[in-house]
Amino acid sequence: MMHPDFFETDRHSIQLGAGAALLGGFAKDIGQDLIRHIHDLSAHTPFRHMETRGGKRMSVAMLNCGQFGWISDRSGYRYTALNPLTGKAWSALPPLFLDLATRAADVVGFRDFLPDACLINRYQPGARLSLHQDMDEQDRTAPIVSVSLGLPAIFLWGGTQRTVRPVRHQVFHGDVAVWGGTSRMIFHGIDALKNGYHPAAGHFRFNLTFRKTR
């Protein structure tokens, strides 16, 4: 059950649906530290543009950290314990990442959330993520925790069918979306990113997506 006092003190925070909320500015105070960790991680595992099953290059650049990493290629979408490019384990989840994910999940009523994967997306102007469901996790009882950093974007919140017209929510640096329970399989995405500059992220938007895969 969501903590109602959070929504009373932050007007930008909204309930998206049952078991789903957009927590306005929840991570804003640690935003620069989160981006610093992203740069440290990318120094060891560079961002790359994966391809879809159909062979198309994704406009969003990605990297992983945690026990498992999400990858996409012509063989499909899946989680692996090893980075296929290096044959080595993915970098560990920074404690700051883990603490943020568990605190945000708890606010929305998902206690003891322990993610084992974090997909980091880097958007440049024009990049987008089409409506999709997070379907590759074996454990779908756990929520998804998504952290917005850098440039603002339009978060698309749809329904359980792709044909449902999504609601458009503007998300800003430090906003955190959490969805689980009956909202776990909602279609969602990010509209094409507009040009801009953010003092902590430059001309980019970063997104941290925490998941429990097993």
Residue 188 annotated as part of some ligand binding site? yes
Residue 191 annotated as part of some ligand binding site? no
Residue 79 annotated as part of some ligand binding site? yes
Q: 158, 166 in Cβ contact below 8 A?
A: yes
- Residue 160 DSSP class: S
Rounded to whole angstroms, the Cα distance separating 88 from 65 reads: 12
Residue 209 annotated as part of some ligand binding site? yes
Residue 195 annotated as part of some ligand binding site? no
Rounded to whole angstroms, the Cα distance separating 62 from 37 reads: 15
Residue 193 annotated as part of some ligand binding site? no
Residue 111 annotated as part of some ligand binding site? no
Q: Rounded to 5 degrees, what are φ and ψ at 72? A: -140, 130
Residue 103 annotated as part of some ligand binding site? no
Task: Please name which of 214, 207, 213, 211 lies closest in space to residue 63, comparing C-alpha atoms.
Answer: 207
Residue 208 annotated as part of some ligand binding site? yes
Residue 53, both tokens: 């099953």
Strands in 37-182 per DSSP E: 61-66, 69-73, 76-80, 117-123, 129-132, 144-150, 153-157, 167-171, 176-179
Q: Could you tell me how far CA 85 lies from the centroid of its own chain?
A: 22
Residue 168 annotated as part of some ligand binding site? no
Residue 136 annotated as part of some ligand binding site? yes
Residue 82, both tokens: 């090893």
Residue 211 annotated as part of some ligand binding site? yes
Residue 140 annotated as part of some ligand binding site? no
Residue 139, both tokens: 């454990």
- Residue 48 DSSP class: B
Residue 121 annotated as part of some ligand binding site? yes
Residue 207 annotated as part of some ligand binding site? yes
Q: Which residues are annotated as a binding site for substrate?
A: 70, 77-79, 136, 162
Binding-site annotation: residue ranges: 70, 77-79, 121-123, 132, 134, 136, 162, 188, 205-211
Positions at the binding site for 2-oxoglutarate: 121-123, 205-211
Q: Which residues are annotated as a binding site for Fe cation?
A: 132, 134, 188
